[in-house]
Structure 1
Amino acid sequence: MELRVDVQLQPTVVEEDLKALHARLEHSGLLEHGTAIIKTHAPHLIFRHREADGEHYVYVEDTAQGVLAGYTVFNRLVEVNRQLDRFVRAPHSKYATAYQRRGIATAVYEWALAQGFCLISGARLSPGANALWQSLANRHRLEHVDIRNKRIHCLGAQIDRQTEESLQTRMLLLGEGWDVDTWTSTAARSGP
């Protein structure tokens, strides 16, 4: 099943955004001194991680080309309460066209899931993001959830079309150490 797949950013806009971000990160010294390197098997690519205010940023730098290939930010969700906020994040990514469909975003999401984060999709997705979530669902448990009133209710792996189209319905990937029963009981104990 697919949620709302209707986001499409223009490649030139993404590349200009990445170029400007790369310049700011280099000028501030943040890339060199404010990040930790995540070990990967990607040649010529450096994955740099930083945390700020509970949000995790992973910047992917192409050292051979001297460019920022893209980034993923694992945002906190204002829709959840303090207890769930410790382990739930909503990832948002931007990668230049030349770096899409190369497994880079997959590696970044896999890193977050291995850290024990549970990932919740946005209300709307791009076709590429939807494909990424479906691919990750082959290796990680994917459930659908309803988010409202600072509570997350598990809807199950399969949902009907009407539920799928609701803006409160999101996909949930369970991170390392989580199963459906643990998630459901933790979410149920988490009041607003």
Structure 2
Amino acid sequence: MLPLVDGELEALYERLYQPGNKLYGLERRPLHDPQFVLHWREADGEWFAYVEDVANACLAGYTVFNRLVEVDRRTDRRVRSPHSRLAPAYQRRGIASAVYQQVLDRGVCLLSGARQSPGAHGLWNRLARSYDSHYVAIAGDKSLQHLGRRVPDGAVLDQRATRRLLLGTGWELEAFAQAVQMDCA
């Protein structure tokens, strides 16, 4: 989880209810708990999910599903790299998992960032219980190379090019590899 800047969530929350603001009137989606609602927007191929705590009239946090400049166009059409920011009081409550699951359940595959905090690593491990998980490397030509379902701790896992891949609903490894021309040798 990335640290929050003071006042960041409060400012975003105000914009959600400010007529004329680009965050006003966003598509709303339910979340895993009726206390929360998700405000969803897309801009330049990236997705933004703002999690509102309706009961307390505040923003609990948000997730950005980034495009990856490190991958080729075929892969870019099928994967996003999520990064979440949640207020401390809302961490470890399943919010980020629920947001990621909505995207995975829509058939989008998720690719981890180059570095993960211990909390993010735990989140991905929990998601890997429900979604097909693999490790990949991003090659110099921006293509993916399959490393396997597990990689040894240390040298391979610590390389910036090594990422974790969660396949969205409806994807199997073979079909994903063919769609993005991933090397599975």
Q: Normalising by structure 2, report the TM-score.
A: 0.88
Contact 1:15 1:96 in 2 (8 A): no
Contact 2:107 2:169 in 1 (8 A): yes
Identity, % of aligned positions = 46
Residue 180 of structure 2 aligns with an amino acid whose one-letter code is A
Partner of 1:76: 67
Residue 165 of structure 1 aligns with an amino acid whose one-letter code is D
Residue 139 of structure 1 aligns with an amino acid whose one-letter code is S
Deviates more, 1:159-168 or 1:134-143: 159-168
Matched, 1:140 2:118: no
- 1:15 is displaced (CA, Å) by 5.3
Residues 175 and 8 of structure 1: is their aligned pair in 2 closer, same or farther, counting only changes over 3 Å?
A: closer
- Corresponding residue pairs, total: 180
Contact 1:74 1:92 in 2 (8 A): yes
1:110-134 CA distance string (max 9 Å, x none): 0000111110001111221111100
Partner of 1:114: 105
Matched, 1:156 2:143: no
Matched, 1:174 2:167: yes
Unaligned runs of 5+ in 2: none
RMSD, aligned CA? 2.0
Residues 167 and 93 of structure 1: is their aligned pair in 2 closer, same or farther, counting only changes over 3 Å?
A: same
- 1:8 is displaced (CA, Å) by 6.4
Higher relative contact order (CA 8 A, sep 6+): 1
Structure 1 segment 1-192 matched on structure 2, within 5 A = 9=3, 13-14=4-5, 16-27=7-18, 28-33=20-25, 35-148=26-139, 149-160=141-152, 161-188=154-181
Contact 2:136 2:162 in 1 (8 A): yes
Structure (1/2) with the larger helix percentage: 1
Q: Normalising by structure 1, report the TM-score.
A: 0.85
